[in-house]
Chain A
Amino acid sequence: MLELKRALDAKGHCLLEMPSGTGKTTTLLSLIVAYMKAHPLDLTKLVYCSRTVPEIEKVMEELRKLMNYYEKEMGMEQNILGLALSSRKNLCIHPSVSKEREGKVVDGRCYSLTASFVRARHAADDAVPICEFYEGFDAHGKEFPLPPGVYNLDDLKEYGQTKRWCPYFLARHTITHANIVVYSYHYLLDPKIAEVVSKEISKSSVVVFDEAHNIDNVCIDSMSVKITKRLLDKCSNSITILETTISNMKENDSKRLEKEYKRLVEGLRDATIARETDMALVNPVLPSEILEEAVPGTIRTAEHFVAFLKRVVEYIKTRLRVQHVVQESPAGFLRDIHTKVCIDRKPLRFTAERLASLIRTLEISDLTDFSPLVTVSHFATLVSTYTKGFTIIIEPFEDRAPTVSNPILYFSCLDSSIAIKPVFNRFQTVVITSGTLSPLDMYPKILDFHPVIMTSFTMTLARPCILPMIVSKGNDQVAMSSRYETREDTAVIRNYGNLLVEVAAAVPDGIVCFFTSYLYLETIVSSWYDQGIIDQLQRHKLLFIETQDAAETSLALINYIKACDNGRGAVLLSVARGKVSEGIDFDHHLGRAVLMFGIPYVYTQSRILRARLEYLRDQFQIRENDFLTFDAMRHAAQCLGRCMRGKTDYGIMVLADKRFSRADKRSKLPKWIQEHLKDTNCNLSTEECVQICKRWLRQMAQPFSREDQLGISLLTLEQLQSEEMQKKILQRAQGV
């Protein structure tokens, strides 16, 4: 809290690592809200970005508690408006649209009911369907702001139902004057969405990125484009549709096309004005130079533009017809496209903007069909805008199936700082926080910013409630490692199996295991099956396996939870970097132990990764190995952190790889894990590990009440005010 306050005072960015379940969210919220109350001029808004919808809901719950407390203590209504924003899919209350399962379909149908020309048409002809909720909002909602309070997604929906206003647009509208906004990363980082949603957020805001250990990957994903052959085929279809619509329109309503043409001649000057007044968040896809220019003449008329698009798509198609892997820079790509199909850089840059304009003019209401074309246009704009920090990789086939031709063009962003840069530049304070951010110094480098505060906190606990251990060898003293050379060794696989069986016999309820990859998981499970280890395991617990299929995995998860709940006990085999390792908490009995089989290095043969490593080395002076280890260890820490979700929780963490005990790996674990990782627990055999587990589990099972924590990890008001305690706290704060 102290550190956070310092960062707020300095109006700088900060990087905080706090173990999960220690009240991270509450701390952030309560301090920032208090700060907002104390200095209403310096700090006007809190933007809290989280990852998933359940996480957003959790944040809202915390906020509600905080507000209730304020109300109780201050005895009056609080003038603070907090709300959550999510996609249309989660907020729609239209009777038929909200039944749709896929987000894209909901967006498309919503657009077809609410776009301005649809509504104009409705005014002329009652038969054209529109959304009554949007109409209601448009008619009344804009004048009446939401009353102060805390609104989560359900509250918004309910409010929308009673007023018959569309909750989604209501929330979008309210963002501009709400004090606290909670939404997903993408609304801020993905330039395509940020443009629409977040551009009006004022400069004096605090932005918090929670669970931000993967923030660089999010940044990169939001700027990268992947084009497959199927996508291009769909593009060709869309272009044909465009052509027919244009020719139809020419016959019926040529005026509109002319109007559009004129507007384009005037250029995007309006946008420039908006930017000068600092109203809009800088869109990195559309650098400011573009705005000052008019759309080039070659693509101004609709037919020319469609022909132009056709050429681009055909060109990419020919590029995909390769027999070997091609890697080139955007500059090389531009030169090639110029010589082959005579397309200049300049019109390419306007593709995205021009396409959006065309679609608006043509009054195409169903956007879902056009998403492939939009992707290609984004690609064209990005490739011509950025010459640095990106690379183009064309792979004729996948590595796993070298005989099947499946050409893919990756336009991959190598520099995670590009997407996040506008966020850092725009907002006065950006807080990046997570349970696992170690090693901290890597993040400022790869995101290219200068934090004023960078701290890792540990937990104050009344009992040692995590037990990290590094198991390096089996009972037969054969070293355990997932190293490439020993990966196939049956002795290693058997030792891993024995470790799991013995731990399963000693640990109650749920155990989660993480492997380095799906491939490795499959080979190991099949050889365990041959060795009879699976049979032994099933005597103690049921076995569930995460697969790449999301539906299958969630079914496995449901049954895993069931098995843990009714006492049968279960083992879940999953993959680091998979869905399970990222989003799902295994608190209390669901995860009494986590086993990490091997170090989760990323697949180093991937060309995208190679390109990125090279770029990092050249631009930021980060050695390849450092980055790989950093990436592996943060994923390992993330997996380990799954089992520990609060002070009353306890869990065993087993790192089963010889290499974990090396200093360069060990020191990269979060501080709150390192603190409990004693030297004596760093080089254990399976049997020693099980012995320690048993003893520790018995100690942890002893009754543990609130009184035991008082004075150590919980403080009463009197204790907090006592002088002795304050000294202690001060010491700790300085020690950190």
Chain B
Amino acid sequence: MADEDETKEYRWESGYEKTWEAIKEDDDGLLESNVADLVARAKRKRAALKATGAIQLGMMRHLFVVVDASACMFLQDLKPTRFLCVLKLLEVFVHEFFDLNPISQLGILTTKMKRSEQITVLAGNQKKHIEALQQLKDLSCEGEPSLQNSLERAMNGLKNMPAHSSREILVLFGSLTTCDPGDIQKTIKSLKDNNIRVSIIGLAAEVRICREIAKKTGGTYNVLIDDYHLKELILNQVQPPAVVGSMEASLVKMGFPGGTPIVNDGTSDSSADHAPAYCLCHIESETSSLMGPNGYNCPQCGSRYCELPVECKQCGLTLVSAPHLARSYHHLFPIKPFIERVQDRETTHCFACAKPFVEAETNVYECETCNQIVCLDCDLFIREILHTCPGCASDPVTAQMKTN
């Protein structure tokens, strides 16, 4: 018991906990159990929504993450502080984000002292973002945040992004107040005009203006219950959102730079491509050194980059690699949602994890095409991580149809 506590937090750090109440409220059939139930149901609903297949998803995303750095982020209701907890989770988020959305770009802003500061510009390089996040940890949180300033700033960054990409802002908002210079309604309106989705995650309580912004711009607004819930909420943002109507579909010109060269044996014609050169990602920093032959050259202008995906600084071409595109592919063809049905006696094991169904969970899920039955955990796992149904994949007939 004591050990468990120590791993989480010290007793004197935790709030007033009335453990006896948790038990009592279960009897009521209200409160805790009810809320937990709501959360579980919401989870499932979201998963189902995402997987309906018919909706078009934005593959190319431009996302600004706004982190509240006001005084209230030093509160310790998330451990160790709200701010550190959020930064930590953001690191995970950035990683996951680029994993799932390889051809997207991300930028980070903070807001404090009624101002907004840009930490990283929109870029596709996850290392840079994670570094910046780690540096942020030493930042002192003070003053009030300004929702309007940070939204305006993010909007300026997003405005000029191509129309075929989705433009998004994610705000992690700890404060319950915002100190704005002007009328925030105007900002909301121009956000809407620019087709920018604003999703907000509140760290304390429901703030009406946040709900309004999210609603008007087509984003989501959620408030956390605890740090696990926060993690879930943040990671929900990894999934690309459904496209809202007016986004134009267009052909995007992309470059596929050649991979890392084979050791230069003189046989290759393109030896010029692999001559040592400064890479453009680091050319501005003082520590830049002459790169070796490794790196990616833009097929259009020949500039050298050390990482993909990236937008060419010289000619503006989007440079990606084929595997990136392949990973984004499943957004275009998500698997169909499984049908929820009441557990019957016939099937006793989950097809995916082979565990017997427990009595407590009454619902199981069935794949439409292969009719295999899985449990709730596997259902979520398949949808969020595998992106392929194990039943269909293992069935030789359907699997073959797919390859054909």
Contacts and interface: CB of A to CB of B under 8 A. Distances in A.
Interface in A25-55: none
Contacts of B72: 505
User: Which residue, of A462, A505, A564, A687, has the highest number of chain B Cβ atoms within 10 A?
Assistant: A505
A472 B38 CA distance: 34
B30 A691 contact: no
Nearest to B42: A703
Interface stretch (B172-180, B292-300, B303-311): B172-180
Contact of B147 (A507, A567, A687): A567
Interface in B205-250: 205-210, 222-225
Interface in B122-172: 144, 147
A567 B204 CA distance: 14
A688 B16 contact: yes
B38 A567 contact: no
B254 interface: no
Interface stretch (A116-124, A313-321, A612-620, A694-702): A694-702
Contacts of B30: 463-464
A566 interface: yes
A708 interface: yes
A506 B202 CA distance: 13
Interface residues of B, number: 35
A508 B206 contact: yes
B220 to A, nearest CB: 9
Given A507-B205, A508-B206, A567-B209, A699 B31 contact: yes
Given A506-B204, A708-B38, A680 B21 contact: yes
Contacts of B204: 506, 508, 694, 697-698
Interface string A678-699: 0010000001100110110111
A509 B30 CA distance: 26
Interface string B172-199: 0000111110011100000000000000
Contacts of A699: 31, 35, 225
A698 B202 CA distance: 9
A566 B185 contact: yes
B402 interface: no
Interface in A486-522: 505-509
B350 to A, nearest CB: 27
B259 interface: no
A702 B39 contact: yes
Contacts of A509: 176, 207-208
A699 B39 CA distance: 10
A645 to B, nearest CB: 14
Contact of A697 (B180, B185, B206): B206
Contacts, number: 98
Interface in B26-70: 30-31, 34-35, 38-39, 42
A564 B180 contact: no
Contacts of A464: 30-31
B230 to A, nearest CB: 11
Contact of A566 (B38, B77, B176, B183): B183
A89 interface: no
B266 interface: no
B396 interface: no
A451 B18 CA distance: 45
User: Looking at B21, B35, B38, which has the most chain A CB atoms within 10 Å of its CB?
Assistant: B38
A624 to B, nearest CB: 40
A680 B18 contact: yes
B21 A565 contact: no
A671 interface: no
A567 B210 contact: yes
A687 B225 CA distance: 19
B15 interface: yes
Interface string A202-244: 0000000000000000000000000000000000000000000
A687 B18 CA distance: 14
Interface in A116-137: none
Contacts of A680: 18, 21
A588 interface: yes
A703 B222 contact: yes
Contacts of B177: 508, 540-541, 567-569
Contacts of B15: 691, 694-695
Interface in A587-627: 588-589, 592
A508 B207 CA distance: 6
B28 to A, nearest CB: 9
Given A566-B183, A567-B177, A568-B180, A698 B208 contact: no
A101 interface: no
A510 to B, nearest CB: 9
A691 B16 contact: yes
Contacts of B225: 698-699, 702
A727 interface: no
Contacts of A340: none
A255 interface: no
A539 interface: yes
Contacts of B208: 508-509, 564-565, 567, 588-589
A719 B208 CA distance: 33
Contacts of B178: 566-568
Nearest to B29: A712
Interface in B342-388: none
Nearest to A568: B177
B144 A566 contact: no
B31 A566 contact: no
Interface in A87-145: none
Contacts of A589: 207-208
A597 B207 CA distance: 25
A588 B212 CA distance: 13
Contact of B176 (A505, A565, A695, A708): A505
A463 B34 contact: yes
Contacts of A695: 15
Interface string A45-77: 000000000000000000000000000000000
B16 A697 contact: no
Given A505-B72, A680-B21, A700 B206 contact: yes
Contacts of B39: 702
Contact of A702 (B21, B176, B223): B223
Contacts of A505: 72, 176
Interface in A695-736: 695, 697-704, 708
Nearest to B25: A464
A259 to B, nearest CB: 68
Nearest to A592: B205
B181 to A, nearest CB: 11
Contact of B202 (A507, A592, A692, A701): A701
A698 B207 contact: no
Nearest to A650: B206
Contacts of B184: 566-567
Nearest to B202: A701
Interface string A454-485: 00000000111000000000000000000000
Nearest to B31: A464
A260 B147 CA distance: 76
30 contacts: A463-B35, A505-B72, A506-B204, A506-B205, A507-B176, A508-B177, A508-B204, A508-B205, A508-B206, A508-B207, A508-B208, A509-B208, A564-B208, A566-B183, A566-B185, A567-B209, A569-B176, A569-B207, A588-B208, A694-B204, A697-B205, A697-B206, A698-B204, A698-B205, A700-B206, A701-B206, A702-B42, A702-B223, A704-B38, A708-B38
Interface of B: 15-16, 18, 21, 30-31, 34-35, 38-39, 42, 72, 77, 144, 147, 176-180, 183-185, 202, 204-210, 222-225
Given A507-B176, A589-B207, A700-B206, 5 more contacts: A506-B204, A507-B205, A565-B208, A701-B222, A702-B223
Interface of A: 462-464, 505-509, 539-541, 564-569, 588-589, 592, 680, 687-688, 691-692, 694-695, 697-704, 708
Q: Top 6 nearest A-B pairs by Cβ distance? A: A567-B209, A701-B223, A589-B208, A697-B205, A701-B206, A508-B176
